[in-house]
Amino acid sequence: MTEPLWIAGAWRASDEPTGTFRAIDPATGEAIGPAFPRSSPADVERAVAAAAAAALALAELDPARIDGFLDDYAARIDGDAEALVAIAARETGLPREPRLLRVELPRTTGQLRQAAEAVRTASFAQPTIDTRAGLRACFAALRKPVLVLGPNNFPFAFNAIAGGDFAAALAAGNPVIAKAHPSHPATSQALAVHAAAALAAAELPSGAIQLIYDLPHPLGLRLAGDDRLGAIAFTGSRRGGLALKAAADAAAVPIYLEMSSINPVFILPGALDQRGAAIAEELTSSCTLGAGQFCTNPGLVVLADSPAARDFIAEATRRFAAAPPALLLSPGVRDELEASVAALTAAGARVLAGGARGPGAGCWFQPTLLSATAAQLLANPALQREAFGPVTLVVVAPDAAALPVIAGALEGNLTASLYAAADGHDEAPYRAVARVLRGRVGRLLDDKMPTGVAVSPAMVHGGPFPATAHPGFTSVGMPAAIRRFAALHAYDHVGDAHLPPVLRDRNPGAVWRSIDGQWTTEDVAAERAGGQEHRS
C-alpha cells in the first residue's frame, strides 16, 4: 500500500501506480517515511476530470468563500507549524530555524493571506469601465484547471499545494492540480491535510484541489499537453521546463516557467575600493544561504581587474574556503551540482575554493568559488551554466570598459545587482552597465545581493528567456502573480444585473477601478451609470 492521493475531495488510493518511492534524508542518504505512489494515467485522468468539473462552480462562487479558504488554510498551517517544519526539515535537510520556522513558513502563510487580500479587494481583477462606449472589462477566472508543478527548494513557499503559484491560481478562481516535488512528499501530504480541512470548512467544490506526488516523465508531458488545462506553472530546471513548454505549446496551454538563473552581480571599481571586503562577506553569506539553493543565488560576479579586485577575490576565497560544507536537498541535487562544477571547469573556470562533495555519504558539498576571465566568458556560453547550490563564478574583466560588453553577452536572468561607490564615483560605469542589464533581467538591485525575494506588489520574480518564458509576468507578488491565471473579459452593452459585482455601477466594497481613465473607489457616477443604455 502506498499513501493516498487527494483527488475530487477525498483521499484515494492511486489507481494502478506506475511505481513507488520514498523520501530520502539528505544528511544520511537513507530512505525515510512511507511509500508514495508514482501515479498512472488513470490517476491523472481522475485529477483532470475532477478539476475540470469544478471549474465553473468555483469561478462563480462568492469570492469571499475563496478568500475565506486562503485565510483559513494559512491559519491551519501556522497552527501546525512545528510539526510541518519537523517533516520538511527531515525531507529537505533545510534548517528548522531560522529558515523553515521563522522565514519560509511565515512567508508561505503570508502569501496565502496576500492572495486572500487580493481576492477581497479585487486588486487582481483591475476593473476598467468606459461609460461612453458602454464597455466594462476585468480579469477573471480561466474557468479551467491550473496545473502547478512545484520545485525541490522551497518545501512550503513554492510547494505546489501551498506556495505562491497555488495561492495565485486559486485566488483567480481556478481549480488546482498540484504535482508536488518527489523530494518532499510527506511535507506536501501534511500541507494537503490542512488544505483539505480548509476546503471542507469553506465548502469549496470538491474538485478545487488535487494532489499528485510524482509522475513518470512521459506522463507529465502528456498532462502538460492536455487542453482541458487553463494554464501551467512550473518552477524548476531548464531541461524540465523546456520539455513541459514544448508539450504545453503544442496544445496552446499558456505555461509560466521559472527556470535557471545565475543572477549576475557587477561590482564596480569604486565599490571595490571603498568596501570590497564587506561585499565579499555579503557575497559569501548570500551564496551559502540555504546552501545556495535559490533561483536568485548570486552565481556570477563580474568585476574589472585592479588591486582592490584582487583583494576582493582573495577575501572571498578565504571566506568560501572557511565556510562549512553545505547540506543539499537530495542526492540528485548533489550529483547535478557536481556535474555543473565539472562542466564549468571543463569550460575553463578555475577552482579558487571548495569544488568537491563530502564529507561522508550525505548530500554535502563544499561552498565553491570559481574564476574565469572575461575573454573566456565571452567565448564560451557554457560558463553561464547554472550550478544549483553554493557556487559562484567570479569573472575578471581587463578594465571597466569591458563590463558592459560582458553584460551584453548574458542570457536572460531573474536579477542583476550593481554595487557602486557611495560617493558617485561609479556613476559612468553604473549607467553603461545598467542600461545593458535592464532588458536582460526582471529585477535590478543597487548595492544588494539578489537572495531575499520580498512578497510585494512591486516584486518581479521573472525575466526574459531562459529565466522564464515570458518577460511580462512575475511568479511572486500579489496581485500581479494572480493575473497569470486570469482571462480578460469584456462586457459590451451588458445590463448591470448581468455584470460581475466588480463591474457594476455600485461599488460597495470600494474596489479600485479605472473609470473613464481615472482610478477611483467610487461608484460609477449616476449620470454615467447604466452601461446597458449606451450603444457604441
Decide if 138 is catalytic.
no
User: Where in 37-76 is the site for its own copies (CB under 8 A)?
Assistant: 55-56, 59-60
Q: How many CB atoms lie within 10 A of CB 201?
A: 13
Q: HSE of 375 in the Cβ direction (CA atoms, 13 Å)? A: 2
Q: Is 81 in the site for its own copies (CB under 8 A)?
A: no
Instruction: Please state, in angstroms and rounded to a whole number, the distance separating the CA atoms of residues 324 and 285.
Output: 12
- First and final CA of the chain: distance in angstroms? 64
Please identify, using beta-carbon distances, which residue of 82 and 492 lies nearer to its own copies.
492
Alpha helix segments (H runs only) across 328-373: 331-346
User: Where in 239-278 is the site for its own copies (CB under 8 A)?
Assistant: 245-246, 249-250, 252, 254
Please identify, using beta-carbon distances, which residue of 249 and 311 lies nearer to its own copies.
249
CA proximity to 476, closest of 452, 500, 453: 453
User: Where in 209-228 is the site for its own copies (CB under 8 A)?
Assistant: 227
Find the part of the chain contacting its own copies (CB under 8 A) among 26-34, 122-130, 201-209, 277-285: 122-130
- Tell me, by CB under 8 A, how many residues bind its own copies: 81
Give the one residue of 53, 133, 193, 351 binding its own copies; rule: CB under 8 A. Answer: 133
User: Where in 327-366 is the site for its own copies (CB under 8 A)?
Assistant: none
User: Where in 275-294 is the site for its own copies (CB under 8 A)?
Assistant: none
Q: Is 504 in the site for its own copies (CB under 8 A)?
A: no
Give the one residue of 203, 456, 510, 533 binding its own copies; rule: CB under 8 A. Answer: 456
Please identify, using beta-carbon distances, which residue of 245 and 357 lies nearer to its own copies.
245
DSSP-derived 3-state class of residue 353:
strand
Q: Is 234 in the site for its own copies (CB under 8 A)?
A: no
466 cis-preceded (ω within 30 degrees of 0) = yes
Q: Is 311 in the site for its own copies (CB under 8 A)?
A: no
Give the one residue of 457, 506, 509, 533 binding its own copies; rule: CB under 8 A. Answer: 457
Please identify, using beta-carbon distances, which residue of 360 and 495 lies nearer to its own copies.
495
SS3 of 475-530: CCCCCHHHHCCEEEEEEECCCHHHCCHHHCCCCCCCCCEEECCEEECCCCCHHHCC
Q: Is 473 in the site for its own copies (CB under 8 A)?
A: yes
Q: Is 409 in the site for its own copies (CB under 8 A)?
A: no
Instruction: Please state, in angstroms and rounded to a whole number, the distance separating the CA atoms of residues 258 and 235.
Output: 5
Q: Is 458 in the site for its own copies (CB under 8 A)?
A: yes
Least separation in angstroms between CB 399 and its own copies: 22
Least separation in angstroms between CB 536 and its own copies: 4
Q: Is 491 in the site for its own copies (CB under 8 A)?
A: yes
Q: Is 137 in the site for its own copies (CB under 8 A)?
A: yes
**Owner of C-alpha cell 557536481:** 338
Find the part of the chain contacting its own copies (CB under 8 A) among 69-77, 362-370, 379-387, 444-452: 444-452
Q: Is 452 in the site for its own copies (CB under 8 A)?
A: yes
Please identify, using beta-carbon distances, which residue of 363 and 503 lies nearer to its own copies.
503
Least separation in angstroms between CB 192 and its own copies: 27
Instruction: Please state, in angstroms and rounded to a whole number, the distance separating the CA atoms of residues 311 and 102.
Output: 35
Among 295, 315, 336, 363, which one carries the catalytic annotation? Answer: 295
Q: Is 407 in the site for its own copies (CB under 8 A)?
A: no
Find the part of the chain contacting its own copies (CB under 8 A) among 43-51, 76-84, 138-146, 343-351: 138-146
Residue-level length of the chain: 536
Q: Is 139 in the site for its own copies (CB under 8 A)?
A: yes
Q: Is 446 in the site for its own copies (CB under 8 A)?
A: yes
Q: Is 381 in the site for its own copies (CB under 8 A)?
A: no
Instruction: Please state, in angstroms and rounded to a whole number, the distance separating the CA atoms of residues 78 and 216.
Output: 33
**Owner of C-alpha cell 553569506:** 285
**Residue 276: which H helix or E strand, with range?**
helix 269-288
Q: Is 474 in the site for its own copies (CB under 8 A)?
A: yes
Residue 86 DSSP label: H
Q: Which residues contact 68 (CB under 8 A, 6 or more apart)?
A: 116, 202
Query: What are the φ and ψ backbone dihedral angles of 500, each rounded to 5 degrees?
Result: -65, 150
What are the residues facing 204 on neighbouring strands? none
Beta strand segments in 112-184, E: 128-130, 135-141, 146-149, 176-179
Query: Position 524: which residue type?
Result: V
Residue 322 DSSP label: H
Q: How many CB atoms lie within 10 A of CB 240?
A: 18
Please identify, using beta-carbon distances, which residue of 120 and 181 lies nearer to its own copies.
120
Decide if 363 is catalytic.
no
Instruction: Please state, in angstroms and rounded to a whole number, the distance separating the CA atoms of residues 515 and 520.
Output: 7
Among 3, 91, 104, 258, which one carries the catalytic annotation? Answer: 258
Give the active site residues: 258, 295
